[in-house]
Amino acid sequence: MSALPASRRAVLDLIRRGERTVNTLAAQLRISDNAVRVHLVALERDGLIKRVGIVRSGMVGQPAAEYDLTPSGELALSSAYPAALAALASAIGDRLDPRARRALFLEAGRRLAETIRPEDSGTLQERAASCAALIDTLGGSATVTQTKGSATVIGASCPLAAAVRNEPATCFLIEALLEKHAGVQAEQLCTHGDRPACRFRVTPS
């Protein structure tokens, strides 16, 4: 997701603080009701807020819709996730042996895949393309090369770079995610070090 404009971030922050109707948001922001509605439409379209109820004041006029943040909206206001994931990956690397680290990240990837609509039909090329698109959605930039019987998804970078620098086994999370998402067998051949980059060999499952 691209960075939120400051005006929409301000709307999200006010909703988080309990200002959940058009009128109260407009009063706090000192803008018109219509200007607030433009922001709310965009935020709702992007899945950052949702309507949670109707406020009936007992006065003449239309009831007011009430809004709240979605989990994606909470994430949009947080800067803690990359640093927290990197610290967690480092702690896992310090405490668990390689086999246990791999198993843990594979399980995390499978669980993450359950939150994403699968693309597990079509040719191997089509499934590899869906893997590349998923990496793009996560914040990477991936392309596909194909050889006989396999395809390779190659990223220009890594969407989990902060964690992978601390613990390379984090890549197994993406491996399991791609496998379950696209119904393929994926083998991670990623570049680690200071500039991690995704590379997954994909074959039929």
What pLDDT, on a 0 to 100 scale, did the predictor assign at position 58? 54
Q: Specify the pLDDT at position 64.
A: 84
Task: Give CA–CA dist 84/92, Å, rounded.
Answer: 12
Q: What is the mean pLDDT of residues 94-120?
A: 96
Is the Cβ–Cβ distance between 63 and 56 less than 8 Å?
Answer: yes
Position 76 pLDDT exceeds 70: yes
> CA 156: distance to chain centroid?
18
> Is the confidence at residue 3, as pLDDT, over 80?
no
pLDDT for the residue 2: 57
Residue-wise pLDDT tens digits, 121-173: 999 999 999 999 999 999 899 999 999 999 999 999 999 999 999 999 999 99
User: Which domains, from first to last, does the chain contain?
Assistant: 6-76 (1.10.10.10), 81-204 (3.30.1380.20)
Q: What is the DSSP letter of 197?
A: B
If one compares 159 and 4, the residue with the highest pLDDT of the two is 159
129-147 residues labelled b (16+ CB within 10 A) or e (exposed): bbbbbbbeebebebebeee
Residue 60, pLDDT score: 55
Q: What is the pLDDT of residue 59?
A: 55
For the beta carbon of residue 40, count every other beta carbon within 10 angstroms: 21
Q: Report, as an integer, the average pLDDT of 55-69.
A: 75
Asked if 200 and 152 touch (Cβ cutoff 8 Å), the reply is: yes
Q: What is the pLDDT of residues 11-54, one digit of tens each?
A: 999 999 999 999 999 999 999 999 999 999 999 999 999 999 88
**pLDDT tens-digit readout, 83-96:** 999 999 999 999 99
184-188 and 150-155 strand pairing: unpaired
Q: Annotate 20-39 with b (16+ C-beta within 10 A) or e (fewer).
A: bbbebbbeebebeeeebeeb
